[in-house]
Amino acid sequence: MNKIPVGISSCLLGQAVRYDGGHKLDSYIAGTLAEYFDFKPFCPEVAIGMGTPRPTIQLVKINGEISCLGVKNPDVDVTAQLRDYAHQQKAAHDDLCGYILKKDSPSCGMERVKVYTNGQPQKIGTGIYANEMMRNNPLLPVEEEGRLGDPRLRENFIQRVYVLHRWKQLLAEGLTASRLTRFHARHKLIIMSHDNYVELGQLLASVSKTNLEEVANTYISQLMKALKKVASRKNHVNVLQHIQGYLKKELDADNKAELCELIERYRQGEIPLIVPLTLLKHHFRKNPDPYIEESYYMSPYPQELRLINEL
């Protein structure tokens, strides 16, 4: 399988581009994720000519405006240059299906970056480059390497990357009403685990030849927004019970009781999601269902990533 293009802060791949001449190699990113993602590195501070090593910069709020200034020399203002670089890379960013940013960076931080007001810091900012990049690419799944240590946030990010990748494949094949409807059907159970799918279904019910592109644009915007909400245990239980309904005529009393018990134990937090999913897959191998077979819910990404083992 071709790897999925994902943007990344260069230092996280081990490139010595930090202000101190070092790097912040992340072994999980450079090891496990690199097996599936084709990482495209960006370092805006080096790209705008600041060099390595270089004087440190920070976010400063003056008269309500946030700027990126030199720590030792506040006359150094690279705010416009960092924004310009984000716009210059828009074509490269358009090809991406995700982006991993360096936390706390005044250029690349996604959130909670220190902003200084009269010398006092507050973790309320976003890196200048990161902010422009995300504004230019509202559909793009974005995370910071530090937050990827949280199993639920890691699974959420990677799932969104694969959804956007499949969407781009759909567009490359050629958008039609039937393909759009099938895309939704295959992701419906995933949507259920995150949010209410009814509005998206109602949107697709209005699709026609004359409004196909407009509906598709609204659909993917609402879908990616819905998927940013981390799937809850309660919603997963609802989906598992919904899937179980497709087996109500095929399973005997003992098998039904076993499946119900595992779903309940998952609901109580005693076992991970992979356990009831594995049993469901076993039953569907014996009793195939075309809708479940088409759905991405039980196999949203390569099983080697083992993300649902920790949910």
| Assigned domain for 66 exists | no
In a shared domain, residues 257 and 300? yes
Predicted TM-score (pTM) of this structure: 0.95
Clarify whether residues 226 and 136 are in a common domain: no
User: Based on the domain organization, do 175 and 155 belong to the same domain?
Assistant: yes
- Edge-to-edge strands of the sheet including 120-125? 65-70, 57-62, 113-117, 120-125
196 and 256 share a domain?
Answer: yes
Range of the structural domain that residue 90 is part of: 4-52+79-113+125-148
Is residue 99 within 8 Å of residue 145, measured between CB atoms? no
Q: What percent helix, strand, coil does the chain show, rounded to 5?
A: 50, 15, 35
pLDDT at 195: 85
The number of domains in the chain is: 2
Per-residue pLDDT at 311: 77
Residue 185 lies in a domain: yes
Statement to judge: residues 201 and 88 lie in one domain = no
Tens-binned pLDDT, residue by residue, of the chain (311 aa) = 689 999 999 999 999 999 999 999 999 999 999 999 999 999 999 999 999 999 999 999 999 999 999 999 999 999 999 999 999 999 999 999 999 999 999 999 999 999 999 999 999 999 999 999 999 999 999 999 999 999 999 999 999 999 999 999 999 999 999 999 999 999 999 999 998 889 999 999 999 999 999 999 999 999 999 999 999 999 999 999 999 999 999 999 999 999 999 999 999 999 999 999 999 999 999 999 999 999 999 999 988 887 877 87
Q: Which residues contact 178 (CB under 8 A, 6 or more apart)?
A: none
Q: Could you count the other beta carbons within 10 Å of the beta carbon of residue 145?
A: 19
